[in-house]
Amino acid sequence: MMIEEPGAARSTKVHIEPDLARGFVLVRVEGVLEMPEGQRVQAEVAAQYPGLHRLWDLRRSRLTNLTGPEIDAGIEAIAARTPPAGAESVRVAALVADDFDFALSRMFEGMASRRLPMRYGVFRDEAEAIEWLLGVPHLGERST
């Protein structure tokens, strides 16, 4: 499924690709991702594929428009829509390409880990992200 979000001078394309055999949903984002768009897509994926892990491929997107207060409000909105049971077993991985998006995604991860039941991770390597989603432990890491 593809969703296009036209903007004044840009557009964001979101491709939602469920991998039911492996138990996760791949969300590929192209263009500038703003918090309202991210919230809407997150809610749609959670409603259509409850209990599945999520891999957000943000390597072709830019997160430069996101601010700390927007991230905080986005986390609150996600928390308000998250069911009280079942979400704690869901893992959400962000796959990013550059240092800025990595740092911003880590900030989201830190803020979300205190308020959302899902587990978050930030990665630069797709294979590592998928291994983490599927619970494959790395050297020195406990499996959860």
Sequence-ordered alpha helix ranges (H) in 1-144: 35-48, 68-81, 99-113, 126-133
> Helices 68-81 and 99-113, interaxial angle, to 10°?
50
Whole-prediction pTM:
0.81
- Residue 4 CA neighbour count, 13 Å, CB half: 5
Residue-level pLDDT at 88: 67
Kindly tell me if the per-residue pLDDT of 6 is higher than 70. no
Q: Which residue, chain included where needed, has tokens 């927007």? A: 70
Per-domain residue ranges for the chain? 2-133
φ, ψ of residue 121 in degrees (nearest 5):
-145, 150
Q: How far apart are CA 126 and CA 57, in angstroms?
A: 8
Closest among 37, 31, 38, 34 to 61, alpha carbons compared: 31
Residue-level pLDDT at 110: 86
54 and 43 Cβ atoms separated by less than 8 Å? no
Residue-level pLDDT at 7: 46
Residue type, 19: D
Residue-level pLDDT at 85: 56
- Residue 88 CA neighbour count, 13 Å, CB half: 4
Kindly report the CATH class assigned to 2-133: alpha beta
Q: How confident is the model at residue 111 (pLDDT cuts 50, 70, 90)?
A: confident
